[in-house]
């Protein structure tokens, strides 16, 4: 069965996912595209033989749209995800699930009321081969009980529109999700330390930031977010356990020896670093839909938890203190989530 997909939001990542669903993923076809800017949607749709439609509600209501991908601006996600749930259609929503805790809870409640898993959130790191191997090692107990995690998330540069809060909301949110998943544990507090600021930033920005998280089991996490590091896009993650450690591998890249140096290139862009993870993420999502089973990826509950934790991290940035994370008890409906 071919899964017929409608895409809401034809911006940067929406266009990439349309291409991915058309050229890379098997078993899927993009049949409809919409964007606030109709002139942007039209060529994106035409390129893949789909039609451009008026808006999100129109797209979700189309009888040949089996499943929905939401890649619009974050504050519009809740509206589209709730409409897809109301229509009983599976929906893949790019992160964030919603920009407020209240909207996330409305989505969780709507999904529970509907009685089946329809929502998957776009936390693609869970599909990266290196992180998956880390999780296998941790779950197999190969390094014993995890005690500490050291992470870094570095971008070469950030535009003027990037604000200090976005270090948690747009950048660290990927670590927040993948750490909950890797450790099968919940984050219970957040703190943000402000080191000396780099001169290579816009003056309004606190960069770098060191985020400190504690989990329910007592694991301590330090995460350096440095979005003007200048040298490239660099993701590091090392978990230290009672009997060993496991470290995320750098992406495969040839070692070059020449002109008296020995060097390995560093990725410059997150799209290249996680391209394969995005491909696997969408292939697995389509496979579950084609098989008629519920999605197994990051759930609406994970989207809710990530928003609550990023809110606490932003509060910690402003207050300078340790902020408790108040995640509600996980409903029975999400008990089977991959943890």
Binding site for ligand NAP (CB under 6 A): 8-14, 34-37, 40, 56, 71-74, 76, 94-95, 122, 124
Nearest distance from C-beta of residue 124 to ligand NAP, angstroms: 5
Of the pair 43, 331, the CB lying nearest ligand NAP is at: 43
Of the pair 39, 332, the CB lying nearest ligand NAP is at: 39
Please, are residues 296 and 117 in contact by the beta-carbon 8 Å criterion?
no
Nearest distance from C-beta of residue 93 to ligand NAP, angstroms: 8
Of the pair 37, 64, the CB lying nearest ligand NAP is at: 37
Nearest distance from C-beta of residue 216 to ligand NAP, angstroms: 26
Nearest distance from C-beta of residue 13 to ligand NAP, angstroms: 4
Nearest distance from C-beta of residue 215 to ligand NAP, angstroms: 23
Of the pair 14, 208, the CB lying nearest ligand NAP is at: 14
Nearest distance from C-beta of residue 125 to ligand NAP, angstroms: 8
Of the pair 27, 74, the CB lying nearest ligand NAP is at: 74
Of the pair 8, 248, the CB lying nearest ligand NAP is at: 8
Q: What is the number of the residue whose Cβ is closest to ligand NAP?
A: 11
Neighbours of 219 (CB within 10 A): 20
Could you tell me the strand order of the sheet in which 67-70 lies? 51-52, 28-34, 3-8, 67-70, 91-94, 119-122
């Amino acid at each position: 069965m071919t899964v017929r997909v409608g895409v809401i939001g034809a911006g940067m990542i929406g266009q990439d996912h349309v291409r991915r669903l058309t050229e890379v993923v098997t078993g899927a076809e993009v049949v409809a595209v919409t964007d606030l800017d109709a002139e942007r949607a039209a060529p994106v749709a035409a390129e893949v033989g789909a039609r451009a439609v008026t808006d999100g509600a129109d797209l979700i209501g189309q009888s040949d749209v089996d499943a929905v991908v939401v890649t619009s601006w974050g504050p519009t996600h809740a509206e589209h995800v709730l409409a897809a749930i109301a229509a009983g259609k599976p929906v893949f929503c790019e992160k964030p699930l919603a920009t407020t805790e209240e909207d996330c809870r409305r989505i969780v409640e709507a999904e529970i009321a509907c009685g089946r898993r329809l929502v998957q959130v776009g936390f693609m790191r869970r599909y990266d081969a290196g992180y998956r191997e880390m999780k296998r090692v941790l779950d197999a107990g190969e390094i014993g009980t995890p005690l500490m995690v050291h992470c870094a998330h570095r971008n070469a540069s950030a535009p003027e529109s990037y604000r200090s809060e976005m270090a948690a909301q747009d950048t660290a949110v990927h670590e927040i999700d993948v750490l909950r998943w890797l450790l099968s544990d919940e984050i219970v507090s957040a703190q943000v330390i402000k080191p000396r600021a780099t001169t290579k930033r816009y003056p309004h920005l606190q960069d770098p930031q060191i985020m400190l998280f504690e989990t329910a089991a007592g694991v301590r996490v330090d995460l350096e977010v440095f979005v003007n590091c200048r040298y490239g896009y660099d993701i590091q993650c090392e978990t230290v356990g009672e009997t060993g450690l496991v470290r995320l591998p750098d992406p495969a890249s040839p070692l070059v020896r020449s002109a008296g140096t020995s060097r390995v290139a560093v990725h410059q862009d997150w799209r290249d670093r996680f391209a394969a993870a995005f491909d696997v993420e969408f292939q697995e999502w389509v496979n579950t839909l084609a098989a008629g089973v519920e999605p197994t990826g990051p759930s609406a509950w994970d989207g809710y938890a990530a928003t609550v934790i990023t809110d606490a991290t932003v509060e910690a940035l402003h207050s300078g203190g340790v902020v408790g994370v108040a995640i509600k008890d996980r409903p029975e409906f999400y008990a089977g989530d991959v943890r």
